[in-house]
Chain A
Amino acid sequence: MAKCTFPIGPQHPALKEPESFNITTEGERVVAVDIRLGYIHRGIEACCQHRNYVRSQYNCERICGICSHVHAWTFCRCVEQLLGLEVPMRAIYIRTIVAELERIHSHLLWLGVAAHEVGFDTLFMYVWRDREVVQDLLELISGNRCNYGMVTIGGAKMDLTDEIIAKCLEGLAVLKERTEYYAQIATTEGTFLKRVEGVGILTEEQAREYGAVGPTSRGSNVPYDAREAFPYEAYSEIDFKAITSDLGDVLGRTIVRVLETIQACDIATELLEKLPEGDIQARAKPRVPEGEAVCRTEAPRGELIYYMRSNGTDKAARVKVRTPSLANWPATILMLEGAYVADVPITIASIDPCMSCTDR
């Protein structure tokens, strides 16, 4: 059978972000995939060397809209490590709570988009309607639905009043109930299962060798989660266990994400109930002494790592960002080889690709 190569993207109805895939098929099977990255490359790492730490933090926050808080958080943690700054406990709890709320918002967004990719638009509409609950909570806490700006070097920007805490606890209870309903659909609804079971297979060995991170690797039974391996901020105060699935296909990743959403509701509730009193900010000096720092955070898509080197001035000497979406592309190419053409959209969507994170 003759081979045929066709492009998907950069502008395509199925894609929200510009990305270019050249897919070579033989009949209905994919034999090779060539991914062209770089349509959203803004040179943010270079910009951090021209701008001071505060401006760079705002720039890094906007690397990605869906995981903006973890980017700002990891950046600030690196600077705090270089300054040797001790962040007040209340600020640590607030930052972790917002990170878990962001995880809920990101996973629900993904669930809706994945449902849309398999043709289940009803679930798409239901999930995005319920996602508005967590968007309202984030707006209540920070003033914005995305790009919250809750992190600052030395602590958190805004405090949580008792009223806000009460509303958050109510909202989280509602979200948990609804996500349990979606967990039931994901595991029992026949039409959904037929589209995701056995699709996009990644074995445990492949996930480890090709550097996959996040739910992509945890869905293939690799129990690596930065919150468990390197307990940071408020995660060291709770009993945290990574969620894995041994299915190794899109269904496995779906189950991991939905269960992580329920776990995030539980973590956020626990932290809100145990929120300690105190200040929310420590004073930070504008000039950072020479040094190096590495920080790992578990973003909704996987392990986010920042390397930062300072040189005694108010601008960083080097900021290196490796986002989880960049790490997952080699594994995605493996998953696509040998797959049916009709399964390509859901397979790519199953790693929760974020091209703006990849290109920076």
Chain B
Amino acid sequence: MLKKLAHWATCKSPWVCHLNGGSCNNCDIEIVAALMPRFDLERFGVLLQGSPRHADVLICTGGINRQIRDRIIRIYEQTPEPKFVLAVGTCAASGRPFYGDGSYNLLGGVDKIIPVHMYVPGCPPRPDAITYGVLKLLALLNPKIEKLVSEFEEAIPGIENLVEAGEKVES
């Protein structure tokens, strides 16, 4: 019963915490732009929180390096259940273009250290794609949100190719 309530609250108004794991900060700016008047993620009830204790969704950017690794894991552990992780950007998804071929400090994408539920690749992905990624993540929990997702897909043809699901989400 409590689980259903928690899920309902998460889907109605997911609070996000933004974690930068070592990105070039392009994706971070697009995330902030997604909260600005033009794209306005807040109309879906999304609120940017400072503390991981208040967050439902962790939005991670950046390829993980040796220095930030322990801090990201610690923050992930501090976030209360149910929690979901959205990896925004190509370097969060795989570590490229920085990882490999000479990089001595990187471990790869975010999924090397914490489970990721949705990937939004792009360098950087547009704020529309980030919004769509958040909605698709919520639709995995609450099928009623599918209607919003299909409105997006009608308005922007091809956007469904821009995100990819990761770990299984329990609904």
Contact = CB atoms under 8 A, between A and B. Distances in A.
Direct contact of A and B (CB under 8 A): yes
Contacts of A17: 20, 25, 28
Nearest to A128: B36
Interface size on A, as a range, is 35 or more
B38 interface: yes
A58 B97 contact: yes
Contact of B33 (A14, A51, A128): A128
Nearest to B75: A11
Interface residues of B, number: 40
Interface in A339-360: 354-356
A342 B30 CA distance: 28
Interface stretch (B6-14, B99-107, B136-144): B99-107
A147 interface: yes
Contacts of A147: 26, 123-124
Given A42-B103, A42-B106, A65-B25, A59 B32 contact: no
B23 A13 contact: no
Contacts of A50: 101-102
A109 B30 CA distance: 11
A173 interface: no
A129 B25 contact: no
B82 interface: no
Contacts of B33: 128, 132, 135
Nearest to B18: A16
A38 interface: yes
Interface in B64-106: 65, 67-68, 71, 75, 97-98, 101-106
Contacts, number: 126
Interface in B14-69: 18-30, 32-33, 36-38, 49-52, 62-63, 65, 67-68
A145 B126 contact: yes
Contacts of A65: 23-29, 124
Given A11-B20, A18-B20, A65-B29, 18 more contacts: A13-B50, A16-B18, A16-B20, A17-B25, A46-B103, A50-B101, A51-B101, A55-B97, A55-B101, A64-B24, A65-B25, A66-B25, A68-B26, A125-B37, A129-B38, A146-B29, A355-B25, A356-B24
Interface of A: 10-14, 16-18, 38-44, 46-51, 55, 58-59, 62-66, 68, 109, 125, 128-129, 132, 135, 145-147, 354-356
Q: Which 4 A-B pairs have the closest CB atoms?
A: A13-B50, A65-B26, A50-B102, A47-B102
